[in-house]
């Protein structure tokens, strides 16, 4: 961020503070004790995080002030729900919440008009999805959701697709602290069978070099789609340990994939 004065929602972004690690910890201790002044300081000290996130939504046709305000709501929700005992940095927890809040706003204010009936079906499906996840501790399939709603699977899927905001090919889907993986990296040419066969062979060989625990964690994370927290609960270790083992396994695999 340079020193040029740029105002968003009457906030001079060039003068926003940067909180040090120790400052954040001390402020959060005060927040947990109910100190509203500390809460305000923590919010203000993390507005740069919101600014860094809203840049990816610049080309959505929305006023940047509106996106900034919505991002601030996500930031406040993250502060109010952050669990310091989980061993993760606040920014790691806050970024998905801020992005989620902005995406919900864009979805609900999509310039492509979606009928009220389609929205009702989609929101009911999302409510049922959340209920089934809480009941069964796993993400339900579209078939299971449709069965609960007594509707055709295709109708439910169509309604859910209708409320989704368009996603840029340059939207990051994974970041390990170095190189980001974008949506476009996930687009595959299914017709290129030779390349796919070679990739599968290379991946299979790399997996063989991992220990059983690493294989199990990667299987749960990337083949069954479970979160790090869900994996941690299943195998009886902390989320931080799952994160370290996952990064180590992926790093080892990269060494053996040409």
Q: pLDDT at position 10, please?
A: 62
pLDDT at 177: 52
pTM beyond 0.75: the answer is no
pLDDT of amino acid 180: 55
Burial class for 54, CB neighbours closer than 10 Å (0-12, 13-18, 19+)? buried
| Angstrom distance (rounded) from CA 8 to CA 52 | 13
**pLDDT 10s digit of each residue in the chain, 258 long?**
444 445 665 666 667 777 787 888 888 889 888 889 988 988 888 888 888 888 877 766 667 788 888 889 999 998 888 887 877 788 888 888 898 888 888 777 655 556 678 778 888 888 998 889 888 888 889 899 999 999 998 888 888 877 765 555 555 555 555 555 555 555 555 554 445 544 555 667 777 778 888 888 888 887 778 888 888 888 888 888 888 888 888 887 777 665
> What is the CB neighbour count within 10 angstroms for residue 68?
20
Look at residue 144 in the predicted model and tell me its pLDDT.
92
The pLDDT score that the predictor gives to residue 198 is 46
The pair of three-digit structure tokens given for residue 82, joined into one six-digit string: 């952050």
Alpha carbon distances (Å) from 201 to 66, 204, 255: 48, 5, 15
| DSSP for 189-245, written as a single string | -TT-HHHHHHHHHHHHHHHHTS-HHHHHHHIIIIIS---HHHHHHHHTS-HHHHHHH
- Tokens, residue 122: 């989609």
């Amino acid at each position: 961020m340079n020193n040029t004065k740029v105002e968003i929602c009457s906030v001079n972004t060039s003068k926003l503070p940067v909180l040090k690690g120790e400052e954040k910890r001390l402020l959060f201790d005060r927040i947990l004790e109910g100190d509203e002044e500390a809460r305000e300081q923590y919010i203000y000290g993390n507005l740069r995080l919101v600014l860094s996130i809203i840049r990816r939504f610049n080309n959505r046709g929305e006023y940047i002030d509106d996106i900034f305000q919505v991002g601030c709501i996500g930031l406040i929700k993250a502060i109010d729900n952050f669990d310091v005992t989980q061993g993760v940095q606040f920014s790691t927890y806050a970024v998905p919440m801020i992005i989620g809040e902005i995406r919900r706003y864009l979805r609900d204010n999509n310039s492509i008009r979606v009928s009220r009936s389609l929205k009702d079906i989609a929101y009911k499906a999302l409510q049922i999805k959340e209920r089934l996840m809480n009941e069964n501790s796993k993400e339900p399939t579209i078939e299971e959701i449709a069965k609960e709603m007594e509707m055709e699977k295709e109708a439910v899927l169509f309604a859910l697709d209708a409320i989704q905001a368009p996603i840029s090919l340059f939207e990051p889907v994974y970041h390990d602290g170095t190189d980001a993986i974008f949506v476009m990296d996930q687009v595959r040419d299914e017709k290129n069978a030779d390349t796919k066969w070679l990739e599968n062979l290379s991946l299979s060989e790399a997996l063989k070099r991992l220990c059983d625990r690493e294989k199990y964690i990667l299987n749960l994370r990337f083949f069954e789609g479970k979160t790090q927290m869900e994996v941690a609960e299943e195998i009886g270790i902390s989320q931080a340990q799952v994160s370290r083992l996952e990064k180590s396994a992926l790093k080892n695999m990269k060494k053996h994939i040409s």
